Amino acid sequence: MKTQKGGTGLGFVLGLLLGLAVALAVAVYVTKVPIPLVDRGLGRKAGQDAQEQERNKDWNPNAGLASKSVPAAKPADEPAAAPAASVAEPGKPAPVPTPAARPAARDPMGDLIKSREGEAAPAAEADPFNYFVQAGAFQSPAEAESQRARLAMLGFDPKVSEREQAGQLIHRVRLGPFRSKAEAERTQERLTAQGVKVALIRVQR
């Protein structure tokens, strides 16, 4: 029994020593083989660290944002600079200057109407006469009334007026007054086309 116990204890000691030797061999092997992502920094030189610190000394993390700053807007009331006059080169024709753009009228149609009214008003005021279209002068009131009724049937609106002429009372059938000669002439042409003999009468205002 004593021999068996001594053999077991010896085997345990030998196994322990063998395990320690294997562990030592593994440790030596691990220390000699470089470990990925860890031993890379072990081979850096002191000069490389100094160069990297020098490069990063003036580094500004906001430098990219400062270069993209929006330029200040130009004031709206600042007058535009006049274009520089171009000088013609010898042997070439001088460039034709471009005329400056004129501002558009606010209301072209309104300006045109006002100009027409301004031209028509002086023309109407310059004519000091009223115009009548006379369709007859009769001594008999009945004849004058008959002529007036005939013109009324044709679509006109004549009036009968009385005037003493050479000691006799005359009944005149007239249309008007018209403020312009052109308007009176248009009425005269319409009556003439209907076969009515008329005359254009001008009276001082």
Give the domain ranges of the chain.
125-204
State residue 38's pLDDT score.
46
Can you spell out the DSSP letters for 102-119? PPPPS-HHHHHHHHHHHH
pLDDT above 60 (res 39): no
How does DSSP classify residue 78? S
Q: CATH homologous superfamily of domain 125-204?
A: Sporulation related repeat (3.30.70.1070)
Beta strands in the chain (DSSP E): 129-138, 159-165, 168-178, 199-204
C-alpha neighbours within 13 Å on the C-beta side of residue 52: 6
State residue 154's pLDDT score.
93
Question: Which parts of 56-180 fold into alpha helices (H)?
Answer: 63-66, 108-126, 141-153
- Cβ atoms of 191 and 133 within 8 Å: the answer is yes
State residue 99's pLDDT score.
58
Alpha-carbon gap, residue 192 to 186, rounded angstroms = 10
The SS3 of residue 40 is coil
State residue 186's pLDDT score.
95
Residues whose CB is less than 8 angstroms from the CB of residue 69 and which lie 6 or more positions away in sequence, other chains included: none
**Could you give the percent of the chain with pLDDT greater than 90?**
35
State residue 177's pLDDT score.
94
Of 123, 176, 146, the closest CA to residue 186 belongs to 176
pLDDT above 80 (res 19): yes
Query: Hey, what long-range contacts does 100-103 have (CB within 8 A, 24 or more apart)?
Result: none
At position 76, the amino acid (one-letter code) is A
- Dump pLDDT digits (tens) for 44-87: 566 676 777 777 666 666 666 555 555 555 555 555 555 555 55
- Dump pLDDT digits (tens) for 136-192: 999 999 999 999 999 999 999 999 999 998 889 999 999 999 999 999 999 999 999
Question: Average pLDDT for residues 22-47, to the nearest whole number?
Answer: 64
- Dump pLDDT digits (tens) for 92-148: 666 666 656 565 556 777 777 777 766 655 554 678 899 999 999 999 999 999 999
